[in-house]
Chain A
Amino acid sequence: MAEFLIAMAGVVLAVVSVGLARVLWGPADADRLMAAQLLGTGSVAAVLLLAAAVGSPAIVDAAVILTLLAAFAIAAFVSSQFDSDATADLPRDQQQ
């Protein structure tokens, strides 16, 4: 069983890392973000699979943290990247 779970962790990771090609290609920043998010979700899945394979509850904690931070990273992406483009014409003290 453990072997299977580790193998599936590998498969999920391999699959989503192919999606990373979008990070390279783009073309829009949104594409890069989506690819990174897919990698985030895939990593969480892989960590959960690993945790089950090893039978270690501490690794599940790692998955919880990864998910939290994935959400955080998305918020950071969004709040920094897209809004600033949309509001580029508004006066902002950082821009001038």
Chain B
Amino acid sequence: MSVLRDLFTIVLVSAGAVFFLAGTAGLLRFPDPLTRLHALTKADNLGLGLIVIGLLPQADGILAGLKLVVVWLLAQLAGAAATRLVARATGRPG
């Protein structure tokens, strides 16, 4: 049981890290701000999301798990807002 749980964590957390890697690569390599923004959003959504899901079995108690989910939701909100605002700002000249 414990082995399975740990395996689940290892797989999902590693996958999350891969998405962070992809996001960074995109941020560095993509040619213009809008595509870079796209890459960043992926990392935000999926990277953190996968890590949170991966850590859920490790959390002791419902409250601790809930906090993890809250963190993810907050990050989603911030990321979405940033995306919209940055997209609009870069869409304008100047």
Contact = CB atoms under 8 A, between A and B. Distances in A.
Interface size class of B (residues with CB under 8 A): 35 or more
Interface residues of A, number: 45
Interface string B23-56: 1100110000100110010011001100110010
Contact of B68 (A16, A60, A74): A60
Contact of A52 (B33, B43, B58): B58
A86 B94 contact: yes
Contacts of A21: 28
A48 B81 contact: no
Contacts of A57: 64, 67
B28 A18 contact: yes
A86 to B, nearest CB: 6
